[in-house]
Amino acid sequence: MRGSTGAKGEAPTINDVAALAGVSKKTVSRVINKSPLLTEPTRKKVEAAIVELGFVPNPQARALALRRNFLIVLLHDNPNAQTVQNFQKGVLQTIGDSDLALVVRPVDRTSDGMLEDVRAFLEKHRPLGVLLLPPISERDDLAEVCRACGVEYVRVGSAPLDDEAHCVASNDREVVREACKALIAAGHRRFGFVRGPAGFRSALEREEGFRDAMNGAGVAIDDVLFAQGNYRFDSGIAAGNQLLLATPRPTAIFASNDEMAAGVMHAAKARGIDVPDDLSIVGFDDSPTASHLWPPLSTVRWPIVEMGRVAARKLVERYLPDIDDDEKELPTRLPSTFIDRGSIAPRPD
Amino acid sequence: MRGSTGAKGEAPTINDVAALAGVSKKTVSRVINKSPLLTEPTRKKVEAAIVELGFVPNPQARALALRRNFLIVLLHDNPNAQTVQNFQKGVLQTIGDSDLALVVRPVDRTSDGMLEDVRAFLEKHRPLGVLLLPPISERDDLAEVCRACGVEYVRVGSAPLDDEAHCVASNDREVVREACKALIAAGHRRFGFVRGPAGFRSALEREEGFRDAMNGAGVAIDDVLFAQGNYRFDSGIAAGNQLLLATPRPTAIFASNDEMAAGVMHAAKARGIDVPDDLSIVGFDDSPTASHLWPPLSTVRWPIVEMGRVAARKLVERYLPDIDDDEKELPTRLPSTFIDRGSIAPRPD
DNA sequence: TTGTACGCGTTATCAA
DNA sequence: TTGATAACGCGTACAA
């Protein structure tokens, strides 16, 4: 399989190809980089030599000469492992057979030096581009750091966070509205809402969607019980305990993510409140947990693999225009899906 | 914060440092690489220049000169996102402030070209080392590819898969035995066991641990009901349905991972069998789902972050002997923990 | 203990 | 359209 002429056992270089094809290094380089000003016979000759030797361009040398590494960095501070994983999957679908590699870089949003750390990392590794996952994708100062370092970026979020070329977004507000409409259609009028952490765009969007649904159905917001959460399981339990103590008790609770919805379900079970007969619950994320719970949790699914694919293509396209030119326009909005499982039942009476 | 002398706005190079310090490039190089044969004043001079310029060695140039990239590759084909994530966390704790970067590379174990893909990837990117997560860590041919490419590797597994320098292992057999002893101590004598996929070392080790416990308690293996699973939720449901149909019904089921345990729990709930009053269940992995289920699932936790830390150190140590020389020996066995939550109850009677 | 000259494999410049 | 030659920034013989 390897180059049949790999005399010294070492990988063949551009010089070997040039010598074999009887041309100069630069011409070989032009073939590699698909320069348009090449004679067809020259190109053929070189390509034949490349195949014969099994030549593969050395990425280290290219990186040095181009002052740019063929790397995509996935920057995230995401507690949801499955989301990160699925996004990676999408990115890798895009860069699969190319020369690119994916570097994963978790960061600590609570750290003071975070911004400087990222800047140092980017200046050191000079990646082609950066992919930003929420919640840190929401920070404009991070995007600014990327620009300052001359590194392209694409941000992923619950709603558009930047111009079309630099973001990929879900439609949290609309899909939450739709999910809540399902609760309303089941007859519910007494609602609880578990908020996501303050300052998170996703938390804001989901709450807006919830409010839209309430308004649309003529449910007074004043009658809705709100509880603050932080996207984690424990905060869901606390919120559930708080909401389920109220009189009259809500018959339906929307939690801004699945972890908290699972917590609400815990709180209900611990109080002998049956889900869904006494209480309907809807979450957000379609985490693995959602389908494993009993009853299976109705929730919302981001098209996260697709988002990874698209985000990576937005990033890579301008550097590797040969990737799949003839493809459709790259969307900025990738709509989420409401998945109605078993945690919604008609209002108890 | 940047070098105050960064005249052209470009990053300072080793030449700038040499010029400022009044020494040669090589001397600067020696300082960077901590060569022992340097005068103290020379070193000080150079270090002062480095700080003044804010010089950071260019990794691309180093990679080219050393014919080696300062990259660690995490190779995995692991369906458990949380495991991968936590392992990454551990790896990053080790390489945190160094020049290293972590490249994540999912592979498809079912693909024919997998081995060649990995080889091509390694030859192209020339990483310092590779970290292998189960189940692909169990494949000796993959380790062989690493050796052939001159790339160091460390394998992670349920039991030692290689010599001490090249692996980090849990003690699945022992900890499963311990977990099952808890079931026996609760009075259970009629067991069901849900197997992991055939050919997986982890599946084998866990079954052996289960058998050890049965033998130790004088429970005849012939009286145990076995069901085959594939580590996925659906197979857990199927296995649960199969086991719970038997007469007499098992009062305790050990599932070889949490996903399948959740499936068993589903099957039980769907049949109106109460967990844990009618049926005790134990899983393995301590996935996020485990604590979110109702009742919370008793399970086993790998010290996966620690494993990532140790595995990375085993890999990096010989290349960066200055990392933390004065640390303790690096262990090969990192014992797992049995976590008894709410899914075990005394045998019903 | 330090410096000189060259190599690593690719791309860029600019002339032919 | 092609080629000779010089970067790119660092490491290593080998000499001093």
pLDDT at res. A320: 53
CA of A73 to C1' of C3 (A): 39
CA–C1' nearest nucleotide, residue A40? D1
Q: Are the Cβ atoms of B288 and A291 closer than 8 angstroms?
A: no
Beta bridge partners of B290: none
Where on strand C do bases come within 7 A of a protein Cβ? 1-5, 7-13
How many contacts does A have with B, using Cβ atoms within 8 A?
113
In angstroms, how far is CA A154 from the centroid of its own chain?
A: 10
pLDDT at res. A318: 65
Q: Which residues, other chains included, contact B144 with Cβ-Cβ below 8 Å and sequence gap of 6+?
A: none
Q: Are the Cβ atoms of B106 and A89 closer than 8 angstroms?
A: yes
pLDDT at res. A264: 98
Helices and strands per DSSP (H, E), number in chain B: 13, 11
Q: Widest CA span of chain B, in angstroms?
A: 87
pLDDT at res. A319: 60
pLDDT at res. B205: 98
> pLDDT tens, position by position, for chain A (349 residues)?
333 333 445 678 998 899 888 898 889 999 988 888 888 888 898 999 999 988 888 888 988 888 888 889 999 998 788 999 999 999 998 887 777 889 988 898 889 999 998 998 898 888 999 999 999 999 999 999 999 988 999 999 999 999 999 999 999 999 999 999 999 999 999 999 999 999 999 999 999 999 999 999 999 999 999 999 999 999 999 999 999 999 999 999 999 999 999 999 999 999 999 999 999 999 999 999 999 999 999 999 999 999 999 999 999 876 654 545 556 678 999 999 999 999 999 999 7
Residues of chain B contacting A235 with CB distance shorter than 8 Å: none
Does any strand C atom come closer than 7 Å to the Cβ of A35? no
Instruction: Work out whether strand B152-157 and strand B127-132 pair parallel, antiparallel, or are unpaired.
Output: parallel
pLDDT at res. B22: 87
Q: How confident is the model at residue B279 (pLDDT cuts 50, 70, 90)?
A: very high
Does any strand C atom come closer than 7 Å to the Cβ of A32? yes
Helices and strands per DSSP (H, E), number in chain A: 13, 11
Does any strand C atom come closer than 7 Å to the Cβ of A37? no
CA–C1' nearest nucleotide, residue B26? C3
Closest-CA residue of chain B to A55: B124
Residues of chain A contacting B61 with CB distance shorter than 8 Å: 64
Domains and CATH numbers, chain A: 7-57 (1.10.260.40), 65-170+304-334 (3.40.50.2300), 172-302 (3.40.50.2300)
Mean pLDDT over B270-290 rounds to 96
Answer whether B126 touches A (CB < 8 Å). Answer: yes
CA–C1' nearest nucleotide, residue B46? C2
B6 has a pLDDT exceeding 70: no
Which 294-333 residues of chain A touch chain B by CB within 8 A? 294
Q: Are the Cβ atoms of B259 and A292 closer than 8 angstroms?
A: yes
What whole-number distance in Å separates Cα of residue B43 and Cα of residue B70?
Answer: 25
Question: Is B254 strand, coil or helix?
Answer: strand
Structure tokens given for B98: 């160094």
* Strand C close residues, chain B 14-53, CB < 7 angstroms: 22-27, 30, 37-39, 41-42
Q: pTM score, two decimals?
A: 0.89
Closest-CA residue of chain B to A98: B121
Instruction: Work out whether strand B299-301 and strand B337-339 pair parallel, antiparallel, or are unpaired.
Output: antiparallel
pLDDT tens-digit profile of B96-130?
A: 777 788 998 889 888 999 999 899 889 888 899 99
| Residue A333 DSSP one-character state | B
- Strand D neighbours with CB under 7 A? A 22-27, 30, 37-39, 41-42, 61, 64-65, 67; B 10-11, 13-15, 25-26, 29, 32-33, 55, 57-58, 60-62, 64-66
Q: What are the φ/ψ torsions at residue A91 (nearest 5 degrees)?
A: -60, -45
In angstroms, how far is CA A75 from the centroid of its own chain?
A: 10
A60, A116, A262 ranked by CB distance to B126: nearest: A60
pLDDT at res. A200: 96
| Secondary structure of A200-247 in HEC code, one letter for each residue | CHHHHHHHHHHHHHHHHHCCCHHHCEEEECCCCHHHHHHHHHHHHCCC
CA of B58 to C1' of C1 (A): 26
Residues of chain B contacting A98 with CB distance shorter than 8 Å: none
Residues of chain B contacting A69 with CB distance shorter than 8 Å: 60
Q: Are the Cβ atoms of B124 and A266 closer than 8 angstroms?
A: no
* Strand C close residues, chain A 99-128, CB < 7 angstroms: none
| Residue A48 DSSP one-character state | H
Answer whether A1 touches B (CB < 8 Å). Answer: yes
Shortest Cα distance, chain B CAs vs residue A105, angstroms: 8
Residue of B92, B292, B343 to mutate when probing chain A, most A C-beta within 10 A = B292
Answer whether B233 touches A (CB < 8 Å). Answer: yes
pLDDT at res. B35: 79
| Secondary structure of A228-297 in HEC code, one letter for each residue | ECCCCHHHHHHHHHHHHCCCCCCCEEEECCHHHHHHHHHHHHHCCCCCCCCCEEECCCCCHHHHHCCCCC
CA–C1' nearest nucleotide, residue B60? D9
Q: How confident is the model at residue B15 (pLDDT cuts 50, 70, 90)?
A: confident
Does any strand C atom come closer than 7 Å to the Cβ of A57? yes
Does any strand C atom come closer than 7 Å to the Cβ of A25? yes
Percent of chain B with pLDDT over 90: 64
Residues of chain A contacting B11 with CB distance shorter than 8 Å: 123
pLDDT at res. A1: 32
What whole-number distance in Å separates Cα of residue A111 and Cα of residue A120?
Answer: 15
Q: How confident is the model at residue B327 (pLDDT cuts 50, 70, 90)?
A: low
pLDDT at res. B324: 52
What whole-number distance in Å separates Cα of residue A47 and Cα of residue A57?
Answer: 13
pLDDT tens-digit profile of B210-260?
A: 999 999 999 999 999 999 999 999 999 999 999 999 999 999 999 999 999
What whole-number distance in Å separates Cα of residue A267 and Cα of residue A277?
Answer: 15
Q: How confident is the model at residue B8 (pLDDT cuts 50, 70, 90)?
A: very low
Answer whether B165 touches A (CB < 8 Å). Answer: no
What whole-number distance in Å separates Cα of residue B283 and Cα of residue A191?
Answer: 35
